[in-house]
Copies of this chain bind each other. A is one copy, B any other.
């Protein structure tokens, strides 16, 4: 057999790889048949006028991938390749082009926006590179089901200092996003519970609870948060609350209500509070109120938080702090479940927190969001619009309460005609919103709007709402 390979000496592809590619294709296409002997490395190197080691490299590669077999004293033979993987790139299964939706709105006050321009991309990339240096193959071995201890330790430390959360790293489980964290919780405690949610509420969690077949009920909000009398009357054994900044109302639950809530949980064995501290990082005025969990001496609070809001949505890392009673069930019955976050990502985040980048990033983002918050508040107040403002001083959105007479649809539609997208509160209610004689409420999220854009958009809103 003679192999005539048209080698490209000027090519980026090394010569040995060109030889390897050629022979592999010949084998795959069936032109070189199973059992045929390849030329000796010496003969082929002479024939192609390349060094013998180049040919040897090519043969070794073919050997390691099973295309050829070595027979002692006889040379290299084309292998039986029937079972070999040959994955050709299909043409008909081409990547679907996403239809780029025409940008209907010039300004979008989305309440769930995140400013990705402030994402510390370069730091993240640097850490990512450093984590994948030589000899870190152990990072691809299955890790601790709860998440690596070092990361949990860094998170526990952060939560203690920034949020007053009392927990040992042993109580923490890191998971791939909020939805997963709630699924995991369900796997631990089962779904034979009745969960009370605030109304209006964070619909994502509500829908998930629904799918997980919990019994669900809603409890109305007053100005201080979930009504504890309403909670008591509901017959629920779990309360799902967002005390630091309720979504969507923006209510910060005062200390007294927090204590009442904790008391409710203590009144009967088996009652729990799920505290979703989803955007507690952003508070612009006054001292942040520590998490409910920090005041819970009886172990009735299940605390959850996420890095989706404070770092970036797609890093997919959230966490849950289990009180001792539930931790015990987890250990007995669920610790066989593998972690859902890659160890590389865990290590990057651990270093991001431990080396001070997270602190810097939080302060930077908060300063940014605060000036957007201040600008929006100022523009709205100076606009002379007919509304009251609530939900300010924390989070990344605020609410405009209009006097009765106008409808939410009308406000949204007229804003839309000016190219400004705003959001109505009614979509956050479970069931029909109670007819309370109050006027419509509009949500304005500012995380993803520059100050100039905010000023322009408020101007347009006032024109629309005249």
Interface on A for B, CB 8 Å cutoff?
63-67, 82-90, 93-96, 98, 116-117, 119, 121, 124-125, 128-129, 132, 136-143, 149-150, 153, 156-158, 160-162, 169, 176-180, 183-184, 187-188, 190-191, 204, 207-208, 211-213, 281, 283-288, 308, 312-316, 333-334, 336-345, 353-354, 356, 358-360, 362-364, 366-368, 370
CA distance A178 to B158 in the complex (A): 31
| B315 contacts A140, C-beta separation under 8 Å | yes
Q: Name the B residues within 8 Å of A204 (CB-CB).
A: 336
Of the residues B176, B211, B339, B353, contact of A87 by C-beta under 8 Å:
B353
**A87-B161, A183-B183, A366-B66 known; A313+B140 contact, CB < 8 A:** yes
CA distance A386 to B2 in the complex (A): 50
CA distance A162 to B124 in the complex (A): 36
| A153 contacts B93, C-beta separation under 8 Å | yes
| A207 contacts B65, C-beta separation under 8 Å | no
Q: Shortest Cβ distance from A307 into chain B, in angstroms?
A: 11
Q: Name the B residues within 8 Å of A124 (CB-CB).
A: 132
Of the residues B149, B284, B316, B368, contact of A339 by C-beta under 8 Å:
B316
| B90 contacts A207, C-beta separation under 8 Å | no
CA distance A402 to B450 in the complex (A): 74
Please list 29 pairs of residues, one from A and one from B, whose beta carbons are closer than 8 Å in the complex, sorted by A's number.
Answer: A66-B363, A66-B367, A82-B286, A82-B287, A83-B283, A83-B286, A85-B359, A87-B162, A87-B358, A88-B161, A89-B157, A96-B149, A116-B138, A119-B140, A124-B132, A125-B132, A140-B312, A141-B314, A142-B308, A178-B338, A179-B340, A180-B180, A180-B340, A183-B184, A208-B337, A314-B343, A315-B342, A316-B338, A345-B345
CA distance A158 to B89 in the complex (A): 9
| A85 contacts B162, C-beta separation under 8 Å | yes
Known interface pairs A85-B162, A85-B362; 17 further A-B residue pairs with C-beta atoms within 8 A, sorted by A's residue number? A64-B364, A64-B367, A66-B364, A83-B283, A83-B288, A89-B354, A93-B156, A93-B169, A95-B150, A121-B136, A121-B137, A124-B132, A129-B132, A142-B314, A176-B316, A187-B212, A190-B213
**A93-B169, A353-B87 known; A183+B187 contact, CB < 8 A:** yes
CA distance A177 to B136 in the complex (A): 21
CA distance A383 to B307 in the complex (A): 57
| A342 contacts B362, C-beta separation under 8 Å | no
**A157-B90, A177-B340 known; A314+B132 contact, CB < 8 A:** no
Of the residues B178, B345, B360, contact of A65 by C-beta under 8 Å:
B360
Nearest 8 pairs between A and B by C-beta? A140-B312, A176-B340, A142-B313, A65-B363, A66-B367, A176-B176, A125-B132, A87-B359
Q: Name the B residues within 8 Å of A213 (CB-CB).
A: 190-191
| B140 contacts A314, C-beta separation under 8 Å | yes
**A87-B157, A354-B89 known; A149+B98 contact, CB < 8 A:** yes
CA distance A341 to B317 in the complex (A): 10
| B333 contacts A316, C-beta separation under 8 Å | no
Q: Name the B residues within 8 Å of A359 (CB-CB).
A: 85-87
| A141 contacts B116, C-beta separation under 8 Å | yes
Q: Which residue of B lies closest to A89 (CB)?
A: B354
Q: Name the B residues within 8 Å of A66 (CB-CB).
A: 363-364, 366-367, 370
Q: Which of A89, A98, A150, A286 has the most CB of B within 10 A?
A: A89
